[in-house]
Structure formats: structure tokens, C-alpha cells
Amino acid sequence: MALGNGGLGSNGVLDTIMHPDLLASLNRFYPSVVTIEESTQTRRPNGEIVSEWTAVPNLTGLRGIFAGKNAAEKRGAALTAQTATHVLDLQGYYPDAVVTMRAMVYTAVSNGLSRAFNIVAVVHDSQSEQTRLELEEVSH
């Protein structure tokens, strides 16, 4: 039995998981807007070192799904540390995001304010299509 035009195996629409026209509607599934920042240290005239956070150029205006996570503790050999309290699934693969950075997250429920979160872990999917950031809220 031969496959007709547009059937499976013909490099047609049926061979893709998602129709290309649906990509434009993905922003509603990724409602949070995120900017990843890195710390740069400067020295004041009196010698005091000050950290300033600046946006990483290729990691601004990212779209993501932001959610709380059950807080937990992880026991290590020398100490017990709290693990991430929030997760952020980004719409895309961002290998430049690392744990020394922080995420400024804007959500519709944050009353127009961005909230700062330290990046605790960066996890990529096996297809290099998405990035998950595990976060802890900055309290200072």
C-alpha cells in the first residue's frame, strides 16, 4: 500500500509533532517574562567591594512557566542545605544560564514587580529544547 501526498513518511505536516502555525500561540503557555542577570563586582573609592547585577544580553525577555515547589532539605556530608523553592521552565534551550546567576521573574500576579531568585540548579532536557531553572527567592 503506497502512501499518498501528505501522509506519514512524506516529510509533510503529519511527520511533525507540532504544526508550525501553533508556535505563535506558545506565549500563552509561557506567561512569565524572565531576565537572567549576572553579578559584577566593582570597588568603591574607599576600597569596599560592591556587587551589581546586570542583565546578560542574550538572556533577557525570555518566556517561561513559573511555579512554586515543595521546599525540602538535602543532607550533605558536612551540612544540611535547603533545596529550591520554585521552578521555572523556559521556552528554549539556554546553556549560558549558570548557578552563579539570578533570575528576575515577572508574572501577571506580581503586581507589575519582578521578583529576584538565585539559580540553584540548571537542568536541560535530552533534546536540547528546554531549560529548567530551580530557584530560591532572594530575601535580602
Distance from C-alpha of 56 to C-alpha of 91, rounded to nearest angstrom: 17
Amino acid letter, 128: S
pLDDT of res. 75: 58
Distance between CA atoms of residues 73 and 71, nearest Å? 7
Q: What is the predicted pLDDT for the residue at 107?
A: 78
Q: Tell me the fold of 25-137.
A: Thrombin, subunit H (2.40.10)
DSSP 66-135: EEE----EEE-SS-EEE--SEEEEESS--TT--TTSEEEEE-TTSTT-EEEEEEEEEEE-TTS--EEEEE
- Where exactly are the structural domains of the chain? 25-137
Q: How many CA atoms lie within 13 A of 32 on its CB side?
A: 22
pLDDT value at residue 66 = 87
Burial of 57 (0-12, 13-18, 19+ CB in 10 A): exposed
In this predicted structure, the answer to whether residue 139 has a pLDDT above a threshold of 80 is no
Placement of cell 533545596 in the chain: 83
Find out whether 124 and 81 touch, Cβ atoms under 8 Å: no
Query: Of the spans 6-20, 42-56, 63-77, 111-125, which averages the highest pLDDT?
Result: 42-56
For 13-51, write each residue's pLDDT tens digit: 555 666 656 655 666 677 889 999 999 988 999 999 998
pTM of the model: 0.70
Rounded to the nearest integer, the mean pLDDT of the chain is: 80
Length, in residues, of the chain: 140
Cα gap 108→31, rounded to integer Å: 8
